[in-house]
Amino acid sequence: MLKNIEILLLETSHPGNIGATARAMKVMGLKSLSLVKPKKLPTNDSYALAVGCKDVIKRAKIFDNLTDALEKSEINIGFSSRERKANVPKLTIDQCIKLLYAHPKKKISILFGNEQSGLSNKDLLMCNYLVKLPTYKDYQSLNLAAAVQIFSYELFKYSFKHTKPLLSKVKLAPTKQKNFFYKELIALLMNTKFMTKKNVKSLTQKIHIIFNKALLDKDEVNILLGIIASINRKVK
């Protein structure tokens, strides 16, 4: 099973869902779990629903914010039960699974939002891709652990197919490096008046989406940072 994949739960409101998620993961071979700002830390309810998968909870990493949680991640994929206005590239679940098997050496994070509100628009800016699981039109909201179970099952099922992974030696830029690049680029664009207080929100979103689509490697981000530095020197 792919060991490079981490499940991230954002701001879970019920600790029982943490345990149910741990069980959904481990029965399909996934053991790496991170919790971002859970409303409550794992409780007896969590362990009760985890049954024989308590070790997944005990090893889970806990973060105060999504930025820190994704610091070393190279590809971030968000799951959402509803259509989103943000122009983040969309994948079907089948396309998502194939992408994961094509990059077995990359650090990949799978994001699941809060039970009630899902991923926020700010969370989406951190995602390279967005996946919407197909559901019946009359009611489309899946239980959190159920969504994780479907993803984990599809990932596990694909492992039985005799396909040769498309190995890539390119070292994709981790999220921490990309966030620094976004910060420097936005600061430059504010300084040159390309971005203003009126359009900073919409343009910031579009900038994230444009460069997330590119799946930049470390060298490419360093080149872009060098370009920004040279422009800053000239402007000053």
Domain ranges of the chain: 5-158, 175-235
Q: Is residue 84 pLDDT above 90, yes or no?
A: no
What's the pTM value of the predicted model, to 2 decimals? Answer: 0.83
Q: Is 22 helix (H, G, I), strand (E, B) or coil?
A: helix
Q: Name the range with the highest mean pLDDT among 82-96, 159-173, 209-223.
A: 209-223
- Tens digit of pLDDT for each residue in 113-151? 998 888 998 999 999 999 999 888 888 788 999 999 999
d(CA 18, CA 161): 30
- CATH hierarchy code of domain 175-235: 1.10.8.590
Q: Where are the alpha helices (DSSP H) in 51-107?
A: 54-59, 66-69, 93-102
Nearest residue to 60 via CA among 47, 74, 73: 47
Residue 205 in tokens: 């979103």
Q: Would you state the pLDDT for residue 169? A: 64
Q: State the pLDDT at residue 8.
A: 98
| In the predicted structure, residue 205 carries a pLDDT above the cut 50 | yes
Dist CA 214 CA 178 (whole Å): 11
Architecture of the domain whose range is 5-158: 3-Layer(aba) Sandwich (3.40)
Rounded distance, CA 220 to CA 106, Å? 17
Mean pLDDT of 163-176: 71
- Nearest to 35, CA basis, from 51, 11, 68, 1: 11
